[in-house]
Amino acid sequence: MEYEDVVLAKAKDLQNMMKTRGWSEIVYPMLKDMIFTITGGEENGRFIEGLLNKTTDERSLYQLIGKKNGLVEFWNNLVGVIFEADQIKKRLDNNKKED
């Protein structure tokens, strides 16, 4: 299997997973809430501080930074596979048009 085939297959699996009720009702809201709790952001038109801004203990701060980085990297990897698959599809479509 070539790289493109693997990426396209994984992207299709991820997109199917993201369409499930479990993803939309449990996983995505939980992931979004976990990132929001740590980093803060806008809620009901007001900006709130996350735990990173409120923590004064150095050890807790490093733990929160690690959690935030892990969660954000996890999300970016999921979205990255789908983005890469879209780029591959465009390239393959362009190659077909040139032939």
Domain ranges within the chain, ordered by starting residue: 3-98
Mean pLDDT, range 81-91, rounded to an integer:
94
pLDDT surpassing 70 at residue 1: no
The model's confidence at residue 26, banded by pLDDT at 50, 70 and 90, is very high
Q: Which residue has the tokens 């929001």?
A: 36
CA of residue 6 relative to chain centroid, distance: 19
Q: Which pLDDT tens digit goes with each residue over 30-73? A: 999 999 999 998 888 899 999 999 988 999 999 999 999 999 99
Q: Which residue has the tokens 């879209």?
A: 86
DSSP classification of residue 33: H
